Chains A and B, each alone.
Chain A
Amino acid sequence: MLAMALKELRQLARDRRTVAMMIVLPVVLLVVFGYAARFDIDKVPTIVAGPAADEAASNLPSRMDVIATHPEWGRDQAIDALRRAQATVVVIADPQHPAVLVDGANLFGAQSVLRALAANPSLPKAEVLFNPDLATSFVMVPALMGLVLVFIGTIVTSLGVVRERQSGTLEQLAVMPFRPRDVFLGKVLPYFGVAIVDLVIVVVAGLWIFGVPFSGAPWIFAIGALLFLFVALGMGVLISTVSQNQGQAIQLAMMTLLPQILLSGMIFPLDSMAIGVRWIGYLLPLTYFVQIARGVMIRAAPFDALLVPMGMLLLLGVIVFGLSVLRFQRDLAPSGTGSRHRRSEAEASA
């Protein structure tokens, strides 16, 4: 038994990634969970509109964080502001038609506001827009679509590319008369196609099974989803270029998925996270897809309201895809002056 345990320890010590995962991951998870795993939102971004906006702004419950007052706004502008996610609540301080409009797509923010309003009978009854029943599925399904896409895009792509290396065929490709970009695109495009089919299936299933609305323009959603796939597939290729086998690729892909599940705002609202953890969320592509999917599907957000998440996905895509192209080209280029990683490969076969 001792011999077996010693052998196992030796093998484990050689597998540095697994050791790092076993030691670092619990600490990271504990810290991240501690700071991120909160459903309560202390401050709900609020806009106060209507002729009596300034006076009303000072009488709101402290939980409602007034970020702007617009005395000139009416109900239409208020709804438009919510559609564009400029705030979670708009209080219309109009003596004729007072109203409190709440964005139901921001589930936890809306719940927080409703609780605050319930304790303050002097304010008008809240009107929840976009998701009047505050159904969890309305909020979760668009986010889960993103998770499914990142799962398929990243893991399946990374496995597909690393399989080529593992079977020794990458070397064969390197000596064939392909340009590196032919190999790269030829490798990635089929996964892109499959991911698009997956996207359609997931959207249709989400709408049909869970009754999630699709209030906005499909073309805006499609652009967001394609940009998101661009990043997810790029991550898959990048992971494959730093992995020697499929086990390593899965391990790395899972390590990129976990923070996206926890920190993208998919489950825990970004607004409730400590700032030290929240910025990690702003580096993750799922964060922006969740904003786009919820925006288009639930709030019917217009394109210009989603320029920031779209732009961020494009930026992340360019960075991740650029890096993956560079690394992939290096894999196909003749070795001899490469990094330690390439050297060790060459040494092994020398």
Chain B
Amino acid sequence: MIASRGRQPEDRTTGWGLDRVTVRFGRLTALERVSLGVGAGAVTAVIGADAAGKTTLLRVLVGAVRPSEGRVRRPEKRQVGYMSAGSGTYGDLTVDENLAFAARAYGLSRGVARSRIGELLDRTDLMAARRRLAGLLSGGMRQKLALAVAIVHEPELVVLDEPTTGVDPVSRAELWRLIAELAAAGTAVLMATTYVDEAERAGSVLVLLRGRPLALGTPEEIRRAVPGELYELGGRIDDWRAWRRAGRWRVWSPDGRAPEGARLIEPDLEDGLVMAQLAYEASQPEVAA
């Protein structure tokens, strides 16, 4: 386990999160009435396209952005670990020095810091690279270092902004192992991602679209909540909302009516997200051109 503060996965509370939070930057509304609970001992994922408001939501939770409306529940600063999208590590410091700085910043004593850094270097397989400059690490290694920096002080809440974006599949798997270990040790983990397969592994998922909450629940709940039916076809069909996937066409039927020659299929989370977005757009009043 990475977080070894002795908290057990079973002592869970839904402590942290946002209640109807709205964030405005001038005339731009980055988040609109978003609520989200981040439970201890679980991974919560925020998924959405670029500019959906994922980073703003994370920054609100860690206290880097003040909400215009709504309430934020977060632990005191020392109990929050944050990994920003830019990784937040110092490229001109070594792996060891980056960790030592974070440990000192969070007030860890020298002895505790030393053993904690050793433990994290082991867990992240960075022991051999401990004297290497962070700027010279591969993308995956640097992300692992950033994660280690974010959790060096064993926080209760860990917030990760797209921790696996741009890293190779092996490093992604390793990062996920580390994140899963964190949750298993009782830490509340909130992460933003653009990958549906990652969101699928999370305990609960918030889907954001242009700053608005589109869906919230377990991946299964989100799949089930999508209105209408999903069909599969070999070719494109006019007048239906369809998208191409794995060489075939998926067709969303809001009223369940089947297109000719189509086969009814069970949507997975990726289909569910597309359908939720289509349903949302269909519900919006058309703007005259």
Task: Report which A residues bind B (CB closer than 8 A).
Answer: 167-169, 171-172, 174-178, 334-337, 340, 343, 346-347, 349-350
Contact = CB atoms under 8 A, between A and B. Distances in A.
Given A177-B105, A334-B63, A172 B26 contact: no
A336 B66 contact: yes
Contacts of A178: 105
A169 B90 contact: yes
A177 B77 contact: yes
B66 A177 contact: no
18 contacts: A167-B90, A168-B84, A171-B84, A171-B86, A171-B88, A172-B82, A172-B88, A175-B62, A175-B63, A177-B76, A334-B63, A334-B64, A335-B64, A336-B65, A340-B26, A349-B85, A350-B25, A350-B56
Contacts of A343: 25-26, 28
B210 to A, nearest CB: 10
Contacts of B225: none
A326 B59 CA distance: 22
Interface residues of B, number: 36
Given A172-B84, A177-B107, A337-B66, 4 more contacts: A169-B86, A172-B88, A336-B23, A350-B55
Across the A-B interface, the 10 shortest Cβ-Cβ residue pairs: A168-B86, A172-B88, A336-B66, A350-B30, A334-B66, A177-B77, A343-B25, A175-B62, A349-B55, A350-B56
Contacts of B51: 350
B23 to A, nearest CB: 6
Given A176-B77, A346-B56, A334 B105 contact: no
A177 B107 CA distance: 9
B154 to A, nearest CB: 14
B261 to A, nearest CB: 43
A337 B180 CA distance: 36
Contact of B91 (A167, A174, A175): A167
Contacts of A347: 25, 28, 30
A349 B56 contact: yes
Q: Which of A174, A347, A349 has the most chain B CB within a 10 Å cutoff?
A: A349
Given A168-B86, A175-B82, A346 B65 contact: yes
A293 B288 CA distance: 72
Nearest to A173: B105
Contacts of B204: none
Contacts of B84: 168, 171-172
B191 to A, nearest CB: 15
Given A334-B65, A335-B64, A336-B67, A168 B87 contact: yes
B68 interface: yes
B211 A169 contact: no
A7 B64 CA distance: 37
